[in-house]
Amino acid sequence: MNQQNLNLYHIFYEVASCGNISGAARNLFISQPAISKAISKLESNLSTTLFLRSSRGVKLTPEGELLFKQIETAFHAINQGEAQLLKNQQLGVGQLSIGVSTTLCKYMLLPYLQTYIRENPHVKLSIYCQSSLETIAALESGKLDIGLVGESDRMGDLCFTPVEEIQDMFVTTKEYMEHLKERVQKEVSDSNDRRHFMTSEDMNFSNLLSQSTLLLLDKKNITRQYVEKYLLLRDITPEQQLEVTTMDLLIEFAKIGMGVACVISNFVEKELSDGTLIPFPMADPIPKRKIGFAYKKQTNPTNAMEKFLMLTEK
């Protein structure tokens, strides 16, 4: 069915609804001869007679009745669709999908969601908890609208709006730190006929961290890759590593003395304040990085997406 036939069906629908050509001409703001010509063309296209004409107007033939019932249903559906669209626009109805890691969802996304839901109660939200790399891939393929991720050189052409700067750090318990120093001191003493004791200069950050059990996020995580780059540049290779899937688990494992955890300082402020965890002595801090909202630039973003992005820029 081509565009020309659609126009003809619209004229047919108006003529059948009015029962006369003059009424249809007024409703469509076109001349009566143009209406008659359109009906004749449609009848020719369909090889059938749709109307019986008389001085009192027009009457549908059985074939015309059959066609009108179908077209009436179609136009009713169109009218319903337009009404629903108008209602949705007035209420702000829409859909929005967001990708985020479990950690960032808990510590950073929730305040944005709380404000957004309060201001846009009719938007259907879908939250996908996954690694930042998976979120970036989903954004690039168009499967997600927005992602809350750490800034990365793998973001390609995605737009990125930073919202907070974070600091990665190593933490452990006071007891684990004492035991680690004792172990390192003993190993060095043993290797030097037990006559040499490690000085504070010898017992540096690299030596200690290399012989600790290092608690890290899994390799799919941007944080893990960022920290590994930091360690590689300093030629630090821990003897033992334990991988976990979430920052919360890293913090909990560190709190029970399982090793030295690399965490985001923003998320362990309470533990550092009450002494449950202590900072691991570092030669130089891990460079700060940015967390923000990433999205694929679109010519016509949805209202739901535009409103969320406006919220992140406040």
- For 292-309, letters b (16+ CB in 10 Å) and e give bbbbbeeeebeebbebbb
- Does an H or E element contain 27, and which? helix 21-28
Task: Write down the pTM of the prediction.
Answer: 0.66
| 3-class SS string, 251-272 | HHHHHCCCCEEEEEHHHCHHHH
Instruction: Look up residue 6 and give its two tokens.
Output: 């659609």
Domain 168-287: homologous superfamily in CATH: Periplasmic binding protein-like II (3.40.190.10)
The answer to whether 171 and 294 are in contact (CB under 8 A) is no
φ/ψ (deg, to 5) at 193: 55, 30
DSSP assignment letter at 143 = S
- Higher-confidence residue of 201 and 68: namely 68
User: Mean pLDDT, to the nearest integer, of 298-311?
Assistant: 85
The answer to whether 124 and 98 are in contact (CB under 8 A) is no
The rounded mean pLDDT for the chain is 87
Query: Given its phi and psi angles, is residue 156 left (phi above 0), alpha (psi -120 to 50 degrees) or beta?
Result: left
pLDDT on residue 94: 84
What is the end-to-end Cα distance of the chain in Å, rounded?
49
Confirm or reject CATH 3.40.50.1370 for domain 3-90, answering yes or no: no
Domain 93-165+291-312: homologous superfamily in CATH: Periplasmic binding protein-like II (3.40.190.10)
Instruction: Look up residue 149 and give its two tokens.
Output: 């991720």
The proportion of the chain whose per-residue pLDDT surpasses 70, expressed as a percent, equals: 89
Residue 116 has pLDDT above 90, yes or no: yes
- Higher-confidence residue of 151 and 1: namely 151
Question: Dihedral of the CA atoms 286, 287, 291, 297 (nearest 10)?
Answer: -130
Mind listing the pLDDT tens digit for each residue in 172-201?
A: 999 999 999 888 887 666 655 444 444 444
The answer to whether 188 and 216 are in contact (CB under 8 A) is no
Q: Are strands 289-295 and 146-150 parallel, antiparallel or unpaired?
A: antiparallel
- Does an H or E element contain 50, and which? none
pLDDT on residue 118: 92
Residue 242 has pLDDT above 90, yes or no: yes
Same CATH fold, 168-287 and 93-165+291-312?
A: yes
Strand-pairing partners, residue 182, are none
The answer to whether 15 and 53 are in contact (CB under 8 A) is no
What distance in Å separates the CA atoms of residue 6 and residue 13, rounded to the nearest whole number?
A: 11
Domain ranges of the chain: 3-90, 93-165+291-312, 168-287
The answer to whether 192 and 220 are in contact (CB under 8 A) is no
pLDDT on residue 201: 46
φ/ψ (deg, to 5) at 295: -160, 160
Mind listing the pLDDT tens digit for each residue in 82-111?
A: 766 776 566 556 889 999 998 899 889 999
